[in-house]
Amino acid sequence: MNSQSVTNILVVGIGGQGVMTATEILAEAAISLGHDVKKTEVAGMAQRGGVVSSHLRFGKKVLSPQIAPGEADLIVGFESAETLRWIHYLRPGGMVLMNTARLVPPVVSGGLYDYPADPVGAIRDLGIEVHAFDAMAIALELGDVRLGNSVMLGAIADRLPFSAEILKESILGRFRLKKPEMVEVNARAFDAGRAAVAQAVEVTV
């Protein structure tokens, strides 16, 4: 995705949304293809409900797990306001993929940060390519809000430097081991996420 052949993905959201799990699955997929992988997470205010960010870097050789501001190839936003709050980490020409569902983080309810009226619009006004859709609504249609993680991973599957099937297998492999009854519905969630992005409004500069 960049001149150094290292892919930088920043995943952000609210505790309990599966930000760290999503990053782990992406890392496993990259490792399965022989990439050097580094990742780091920051969870605020005791996990659930606090803001969470996860940095993932992979390529032939990766020295540091930390993505510097202005160097993320892709920002994956599980929550709208958090996506906007981290937008300065995106490199010029980078892409944002975001869930439009709103889960007000403690930085807002505590009065430290005002919730933006239109996070998607604010990002597009910066001239950034955005793929936005309601992952929570899709998960609920499938019967379980926890499927949002697989929906989000499906959504980014065609924006990675490896095939969507590699990522899908990393997800489903986890469920085959621990919850085989959940394999089919997570496969459907993954496919629904891919389809949602294909239909999302795109702005390319």
**Is the residue at 1 inside a domain?**
no
Pairing between strand 36-43 and 51-59?
antiparallel
Q: pTM value?
A: 0.88
SS3 content of the chain, % helix, strand, coil (to 5): 45, 25, 35
**Is the residue at 94 inside a domain?**
yes
**H-assigned helices in the chain:** 19-32, 80-85, 106-109, 119-124, 135-141, 148-156, 164-178, 183-199
pLDDT, tens only, 23-34: 999 999 999 999
d(CA 104, CA 51): 10
Pairing between strand 51-59 and 6-14?
antiparallel
Place of tokens 């709103």: 102
Place of tokens 């990259």: 30
Place of tokens 């499927």: 147
Q: The domain containing residue 131 runs over which residues?
A: 6-199
Q: Count each helix (H run) and each strand (E run) in the chain, helices first.
A: 8, 6
pLDDT, tens only, 40-90: 987 655 445 578 899 999 999 999 999 999 999 999 999 998 899 999 999
d(CA 31, CA 136): 29
Residue 34 pLDDT:
94
**Is the residue at 62 inside a domain?**
yes
**Is the residue at 16 inside a domain?**
yes
Quote the crossing angle between the two packed helices 148-156 and 183-199, to the nearest 10°.
Answer: 50
CATH number of the domain enclosing 16: 3.40.920.10
**Is the residue at 13 inside a domain?**
yes
Any idea what DSSP says for residue 144? -
pLDDT, tens only, 99-152: 998 876 665 666 666 788 899 999 999 999 999 999 999 999 999 999 999 999
Domain count along the chain:
1
